[in-house]
Structure 1
Amino acid sequence: MTNFATIEQQFKDFVLADADTSMALGATDHLGQLGDPSLAAAKTRDEAAKTLLQQLQSAETEGFDQQLDLDLMQRYLQQALFFDDLQQHGQPQRRRAPGGVDGISAGIFQLFVNDERPAEQRLDNILSRLLQAPHYLAVEAEVITQPIARWRDIELDQGAGIADLLATIVDWAAAETYPQLGALKSAVIACNTALDSYLADLAGRDAKTNFAIGEEKVCQLLALRNIQQSPAQLAAMAATFMAETKALLAELTVKLNRKYQLAETTTEAELHEYLNQRFAATLKDGRLDSILDHYTDQISDINDFVSDRQLFALPEQQQMKILQTPGFLEPVIPAGAMWPPLALRPGSKTSLVYLTLKEDQLAEHTALGIPVMMIHEGIPGHHLQFATAAQHPSFIRRIFSANEHAEGWTTMLEDYMLDVGYIADDLVDEVRFIAKREMSRLVARVGIDLYFMTANKDYLNVGLDLDFDSDDVFVNAAKLLKEATGFTDGRVQAELNWYSTEQSYPLSYLTGNRLVWQLKQDIQQANRKELNSNELDRAFHKVYLQSGCMPVENLRLVFNELGYL
């Protein structure tokens, strides 16, 4: 049997051997190196993962924490192997999902916006990556056969923004008087030429429309993620939540219609539009990017509120940057998203919050919605969660991806922060109305995610009494999402883009929300440490954050081990 320290190091070596993963985690071994998109490289990784998994299953552990870490390492490998083995139309899903644009741009973008080293060192790494890009794209083109049509279109949309990104990097290099500016310009030209050829080839390929993986595979995936509910149970949970949310929204609609002297017949959607207009964030000097200032101001207000009440422990070395979403990421970031701190980078834990700003989507940015967005993405939401987890001594608990753990935490906070008084009494009903309208998207996500994965229209029946009679899954999904949320058409389509590519991630929001609230309620009901409500809240937050990243069901075991259950 292998001792735990040895197996943990072997696992770490395996994870960081992949250039893309290493870069994304903030390690420094592959800063100037693109990943290898070939099928041969994937086969080699799979063989190594299977060997390591066998060793993990016979490793020696001492105590609860090591056993928990061992389980997480096993799940990490099993999930990776699941997706590598997943089939679409008789071929590995990898051959249906183009990834060349992200493969060449993700690391370059990170080096550009999220690296504190001197500019010349970063530009050297970018130049190295650009020189490898034409070969990378050629290999990617060989891997892809007949792509899934929607995934191909996303790739084409993202690819259209890369030239602007690279032009910005050339301008930056010129301003920094980069010694190899000429070589960088030549590499950019070669990359753009190769990218144009890659995209043109991709656009001309025959494509598949169906991308369902089937009920059996969905059940396997849920089990690997330690989500113990079946698809049918998740759908029922979504319908119940929708009924509860609709009832609350109906009450708030009556109350707010009276407050603003609107007609009694004013619908939720009409009230939502009225509030968006009344509380629209103002542009400074007509500049669209001045919206970012409203978010930055909100960060300061939330931090002061949290600190004054000592609701959450804030790490000393942490910060957030608010940025406008670059063009090449807009197809997959419909409104906003947060890039968490790089788990392995030493020093200050920095998150990047991207906001998609478009003239036709200004209604998404209001004095009512901005606080909820920053609670979710910043402190005490994702940023605080991952900035804390990134300091955990366990490697696996810093890097493990458990979406229902992350999204359950943040969506729980959207209610909690209103409950504890962050929003003034004279606006709390308005903010809760907007937040609950937004929360309706979580129900739609469950139904659409299950529908996309299984092709079973029944999963779209989440309590909105709609007919889904189209043969196009995206038409049916758009109908549900539009009705549930009132999103603009542009945002609906962007949401569906990433729903389709991130199998089982969209359903994790509501699933996590329900699991986290249930966990908290169970701890409150047990109250084995006989704490008052404020003390119990602080204890719950502390354990949740400082335990690191893991499925909620694993976290329940942590609370049990610590005597809270």
Structure 2
Amino acid sequence: MKKAIIASALSWALLAGCSQPSQSTQTTNQAPSASSIVAQPAEQPTLNATQYSNQFVDELWQLYPEFALYVGYYDYDAQLPIADQQRREQELQWLKQQQTSISQLLSSELTEHQRTDLSLMANFVERAIWQLETFKSWQWDPSEYNVAGGFAQIINGDYKPEIERLRTVLSRLEHVPAYYQAAQANISNPAIPQTRLAIQQNQGVASVLSDELLAKALASDMTDAEKVEFEARLSAAQIAVASYVDFLTGLLPEAEGADPVYRLGEAMYEQKFAFDIQSQLTAKQLYERALADQKMIHGKMAELTTELWPKYFADQAMPAEPMQAIAQMLERLSQVHAKPTEFKAAVEQQIPELIAFIKANDLMTLDDDKPLVIRHTPEYMRGYAVASIQAPGPYDAKANTYYNVMPLDDMPADQAESFLREYNQYLMQVLNIHEAIPGHYTQLVYANKSPSLIKSIIRNGAMIEGWAVFAERMMLEAGYGDFEPELWLMYYKWNLRVVTNTILDYSIQVLGMEQEQAMDLMVNQAFQQQAEAAGKWRRATLSQVQLTSYYAGFSDILVLRDKAKQAWGEDYSIKRFNETFLSYGNAPVPVIAELMLK
């Protein structure tokens, strides 16, 4: 899943989860300053855990109004925080106050749900402090600065009349120049791949802060004075974005050649892994497990290739080398795929089939009232993932969920063909299960209904990605595709990608893997098309640890399913497991396991 870019000193990866207070019905354009929030003592011994959680979140939305937009909390929608040194100091002061309060509460008498909620809040706060003081991506990752996401949430939203949202945009536009001035002041020794991504995505800001937006404002019922101000502020914002792009372009190396990768090293990688994944394993242990599973999957693929060979190559002897035979079979099956102009339509066409299968097999309850909109990935979000889900939070749960699919229209013919061979008629089905139903889309619908709002908002990436990977296996085991060996072979290729993601990420960040070695791993050992492997190399140089979340979460869920079967006995059903698991929001799998099996 991707993940929208938050314009704040904290990245969306950090703000992918928090807590929340009760829904407010009024919207204000004035948020308390960070300093005023910090000035109020967060530690109040008379508060119980539930009261403290509500207070924590009330203050959180005030301090991070940009993130609040992404969970549908719009009281501070007109605010655009400026990520300067003063703000970072205020954030740290507030975060350390929360750290003290949470530590004291964790030593008191708590219910299991209160204790696990507080443990998630503790990890969030500790990770935020680590991000600001140690990781410092606000210095070296220019792609953290992008105003498009917040503006798009407001412009495309339906939470208040359009004229009011346009006035909100007008208020936010005033702060865009200062936002990018602070961004430029923060950047120091930027990582080159992240700089190129920042240039690409900030060039896409023009698709949001556009002439179309101006025309909408000029045609509205705003006053003449407001319209004049809107045009002036929009122009100043566009200039600020262009200046930031020019600034970043000037930081790129003049010489052509491969860009140096920003590598964390073992110590920093293990720290980030512990915060992000929240697994009982270390990063190194997960890497070693992935190497073992890689061999196991190769064996299963070899068995299926042997079964299928007479059907597709009756007049040819199967190569003695299993990897060569597997590659030849996969290449044959990959030839059936959609046309470039029809890929998005093919995705749309399959969604009703997935819904029908889940209902017919009673795998879980689906909510038919939550809209899923399939669209081409917006320009300001491109350059990172092939497909992604952008879902609303619990405050605005009825808003659209967007399934973003990379457009192929402008892609060179050879690259488009390579892409479509990767996402052929088989793997496109697995992709849709993963991203949409019953993967990310379904899981996030359930998360918004979780009784624990903290577990809904504090999003653990390994649980979210792990569920989507588990959903693929669960659907095929339930008979989706009628146990067709071709689909299972392609599924194992996809599952091998999950395992390879972990091997790739750890090898790049800790072991110093270079691009040539990475391409060999992906193309020759994981059977990926060149276009897919090249895109994954780029993605792996733009992120750290996130690629391990798929395998880490999936492995933990498989173990939990086996334990649930044993613990529940005759009361076990896949529907009960699915719905119980998803009822705990976006909490880490070890936390869910503790609560499910009690």
Q: If the length of structure 2 is used for normalisation, what is the TM-score?
A: 0.82
Structure 1 residues without counterparts, runs of 5 or longer: 458-467
Q: 1:403 aligns with which of 461, 484, 488?
A: 461
1:156 maps to 199
Q: Alignment partner of 2:459: what SS?
A: coil
Match of 1:549 among 570, 586, 590: 586
- Is residue 2:561 matched to residue 1:510? no
Local SS of the residue matching 2:403: strand
How far did residue 399 of structure 1 move? 0.7
Worse-superposed segment, 77-86 or 412-421:
77-86
Give the structure 2 partner of residue 332 of structure 1. 384
> 1:104-503 maps to which residues of 2 (within 5 A)?
104-115=147-158, 117-167=160-210, 169-170=212-213, 173=216, 177=220, 179=222, 183-205=229-251, 209=260, 211-224=262-275, 225-261=277-313, 263=316, 264-265=318-319, 267-278=325-336, 280-282=337-339, 288=341, 290-315=342-367, 317-333=369-385, 335-346=386-397, 348=398, 350-358=400-408, 359=411, 360=416, 361-425=419-483, 428-454=484-510, 456-457=511-512, 473-503=514-544
Q: 1:356 to 1:210 in 2, by over 3 A?
A: closer
Is the contact made by 1:127 and 1:187 (CA closer than 8 Å) also made in structure 2? yes
Shift of 1:210: 5.2
Greater Cα shift, 172-181 or 67-76: 172-181
Any idea what SS the aligned residue of 2:271 has? helix
Residue 3 of structure 2 is matched in structure 1 by none
SS of the aligned residue for 2:389 comes to strand
Give the C-alpha shift of residue 503 in structure 1: 2.5
Match of 1:65 in 2: 113
Q: Does 1:11 align with 2:56?
A: yes
Considering Cα pairs closer than 8 Å and 6+ residues apart, tell me whether 1 or 2 has the greater RCO.
Answer: 2
Question: Could you list the per-position Cα deviations for residues 393-416 of structure 1 after superposition, in whole angstroms to 9, with x for gaps in the alignment?
Answer: 322111112111111111111111
**Conserved? CA contact 1:341–1:383, under 8 Å:** no
Q: Which runs of structure 2 are paired with 1:23-62 in the superposition (5 Å)?
A: 23-59=69-105, 60-62=108-110
Contact 2:124–2:458 (8 Å) recurs in 1: yes
> Does the 8 A contact of 1:482 with 1:492 survive in 2?
yes
Q: 2:570 aligned with 1:530, yes or no?
A: yes
CA contact (8 A) 2:143 2:195 kept: no
Matched, 1:560 2:597: yes
Q: Deviations over 1:200-238 (max 9, x none)?
A: 112223779453333223333333342121232111111
The letter of the residue matching 1:4 is: A
CA contact (8 A) 1:376 1:411 kept: yes
Pick closer, same or farther for the CA change 1:479–1:173 going to 2, 3 Å: farther
- Kindly indicate whether residue 561 of structure 2 is the aligned counterpart of residue 520 of structure 1: yes
Take 2:519 and 2:87, find their aligned partners in 1: how far apart are those partners?
Answer: 37
- 1:478 CA drift (Å): 3.7
Q: Counterpart of 1:142 in structure 2: which amino acid?
A: A
SS in 1 for 2:209: helix
Question: Which deviates the most, 107-116 or 299-308?
Answer: 107-116
Q: Distance in 1 between matches of 2:97 and 2:217?
A: 48
What is the CA distance between 1:73 and its match in structure 2? Answer: 1.1
CA contact under 8 A between 1:100 and 1:136: conserved in structure 2? Answer: no
Cα offset, 1:314, TM superposition: 2.0
Q: Which residue matches 2:132?
A: 84
Q: 1:120 and 1:146, CA in 2 relative to 1: closer, same or farther beyond 3 A?
A: same
Q: Give the aligned partner of residue 139 of structure 2.
A: 95
User: By how many angstroms is 1:433 displaced?
Assistant: 1.9
Post-superposition offset of 1:79: 1.6
**Counterpart for residue 460 of structure 1:** none
Whole-angstrom CA distance in 2 between matches of 1:436 and 1:195: 44
Give the Cα–Cα distance (whole angstroms) in 2 for the partners of residues 26 and 268 of structure 1: 47
Give the counterpart letter for 1:226 in structure 2. Answer: Q
Per-residue displacement from partner, 1:508-551 (whole Å, max 9, x unpaired)? Answer: 11111111111111222x234532xxx42122112101121111
Aligned to 2:22: none
The separation in 2 between residues aligned to 1:8 and 1:308, in whole angstroms, is 41
Q: Secondary structure of the residue that 1:313 maps to in structure 2?
A: coil
Matched-pair contact (CA < 8 Å) for 2:217–2:230: no
Deviation, 1:181, is: 5.8
Q: What is the DSSP-based 3-state SS (H/G/I as helix, E as strand, rest coil) of the residue aligned with 2:335? A: helix
Give 5+ residue unaligned stretches, structure 2: 1-44, 254-258
SS at match of 2:236: helix
Paired position in structure 1 for 2:41? none
Alpha-carbon shift at residue 251 of structure 1 (Å): 1.9
Residue identity in the other structure for 1:373: L
Paired amino acid for 1:239 = L
What is the deviation of 1:138? 0.9
Aligned residues: 527
Q: CA RMSD in A?
A: 2.6
Output the CA distance in 1 between the equivalents of 2:138 and 2:195: 12
The 1:291–1:111 alpha-carbon spacing in structure 2 relative to 1, beyond 3 Å, is farther
